[in-house]
Amino acid sequence: MSSSENPSSPGLKPFAAMVRREFAGYFRTPLAYVFLAVFNAFAVSLAFFVGGLYESGIASLDRFFLYHPWLWAFLAPAAGARLWAEERRQGTIELLLTWPITVWQAALGKFLAAWLFLACALLMTVPVALTVGWLGEPDWGVIVAGYAGSLLCAGACLGIAAIASALTRSQVIAFVTGFLACFVLVLVGYGVFDELLAGALGSGGVDEIRRLGLWRNLEPFTLGLIDVRPIAYFLSVAFAGLGLSTIIVERR
């Protein structure tokens, strides 16, 4: 019937190709290295100079992870801005959507590649943990839990970034809107903002809202508590973002 080489189902190969291209795509421009450097510089300096990790004299990384919602709120949208905006700008979205891959496969491939990239940034901070291990005797289980929580938090921010990216052809607009949306989730349950909210809503209402914040969900991990609720929270934000961005791309 056709001269096509492979009319049968090609299995996972197209999906794997998608993940590979997207992941490699980060390293095709100098931006990736700038990103990794900025992430590391901020992760380390916030922990040591603002969080007083060294002065605290406690062999734990909770002061390091404390700032991760801020970092991800800023850097996940930076890494996620290109997901769809770049396809639209270059016009390649029309190619991608006429190649034999479903929008869902393409979206999941892009998302996983971006998440993997954020995981690389996080992995580069392992020397911080090693330093703490060298200085004292930390509970390694708690540290591993903290890293897992931070990675989940990154996925949630990336989900939001994916929606922002699906809505525009400009990476700058995608970044700014993604950042603002994540920023709101950081503020929820944080210091001054929390007090403002408590004043407005009373302590009962504010507790419910606080559960929607990034830090409130990351905190248990940094104490070594692996609870279902924060895991479900991060994963639902991540996958809701992924799903919504896919629907936006399909509809347009």
Name which of 25 and 243 has its Cβ closer to other proteins: 25
Spell out the SS3 assignment of the chain: CCCCCCCCCCCCHHHHHHHHHHHHHHCCCCHHHHHHHHHHHHHHHHHHHHCCCCCCCCCCCHHHHCCHHHHHHHHHHHHHCHHHHHHHHHCHHHHHCCCCCCHHHHHHHHHHHHHHHHHHHHHCCHHHHHHHHHHCCCCHHHHHHHHHHHHHHHHHHHHHHHHHHHCCCCHHHHHHHHHHHHHHHHHCCCHHHHHHHHHHHHHHHHHHHHCCCHHHHHHHHHCCCCCHHHHHHHHHHHHHHHHHHHHHHHHC
Taking the complex as a whole, how short is the minimal distance between the CB of residue 157 and other proteins, in angstroms? 25
Name which of 24 and 172 has its Cβ closer to other proteins: 24
Name which of 102 and 236 has its Cβ closer to other proteins: 102
Taking the complex as a whole, how short is the minimal distance between the CB of residue 12 and other proteins, in angstroms? 9
Taking the complex as a whole, how short is the minimal distance between the CB of residue 75 and other proteins, in angstroms? 21
Q: Which residues are at the interface with other proteins (CB under 8 A)? A: 1-7, 9-11, 13-14, 16-18, 20-21, 25, 28-29, 90-92, 94-95, 97-102
Name which of 87 and 194 has its Cβ closer to other proteins: 87
Name which of 45 and 90 has its Cβ closer to other proteins: 90
Provide the residue count of the chain: 252
Taking the complex as a whole, how short is the minimal distance between the CB of residue 25 and other proteins, in angstroms? 7
Name which of 18 and 128 has its Cβ closer to other proteins: 18
Taking the complex as a whole, how short is the minimal distance between the CB of residue 8 and other proteins, in angstroms? 9
By C-alpha distance, which of 111, 88, 74, 92 is closest to 245? 111
Taking the complex as a whole, how short is the minimal distance between the CB of residue 94 and other proteins, in angstroms? 4
Taking the complex as a whole, how short is the minimal distance between the CB of residue 244 and other proteins, in angstroms? 19
State the amino acid at position 114 in one-letter form. A
Name which of 4 and 203 has its Cβ closer to other proteins: 4
